[in-house]
Structure 1
């Protein structure tokens, strides 16, 4: 589906908010200027929010934001998500783009007080268009970066993809062991710590190997 068709489908969102204004705030030790969660709550209530969800400053390395999850789950078409600052929603641009685009598809508006962005006013929908364009741009950068990385790796002679289960030395070792009739396929596989199917794949001549009897057959008298 092309971009024009996508925009037509998403144009059904209400031009003005018809539901609740819902606030979200998040504390951060790295951004003290944004205000504490309590200060953000006061700002959001003063901006007309009916209810406010707050996440405290998370521990180092933690990405859990349970209040944001609850906030997003509570939003319906016509509602507006209000934040003191856009960076309260996402810790990275790709994360923010994904979240804003998801809100658009759900018919949810967004207001960012610090940036003065409001998708619910006349002309405010351009905010969504910008984020949609950013999303496409980031995806193209990712694809282009992946292609460039693969090309550079090939130019260096680097092998790409999953490494082989058996190295050339191990294949040579398997063939050497194969020359000794007392070695069974199972024993060779155990020695190389691979499955028999892997061994057959790398050493196809094992396919005609007959199993070795554990004891010599008794010769008839």
Structure 2
């Protein structure tokens, strides 16, 4: 029976990492047209079209090759679900140069251990990210969305528009912003007011 190597590579953001994985798969004997990829997909997301195509392509006695287990799955339930598909199809899994046979008890145990460590690593990364963001907020380094134009730039934009010499497109190009931003900047400001007795006191510039 013919045995085919099917490769799978995934990266979340860095295309260079994807190319490195493809080169590693090629070095393991996987043909270029047998490599399926997902780019911009996290390992925790099961909606990965490239992986679905790879799983559909493997047949009995074939081997799915990945550089590391965390490229294939980042959670224990996901890894076990994929292993079950391998077992049902009679497909082997190669993590780098090491081949595992999911139906084999030792292979299944080792696969589950690796999946547990992959999930643990993913949890650590998420925890460190949350901790880093909390520290940054405490130090005032993480702020809300900042305005695209400073107060001075907004005043200059309104003055230039009031001169009648500049169109909306001109202003957008000069200040390196979008036309909607120009329109928002030109919107009249609503004066703040408060009531003192029965007479409102208004603060703001009189148009």
| TM-score, length-scaled by structure 1 | 0.45
* Structure with the larger strand share: 2
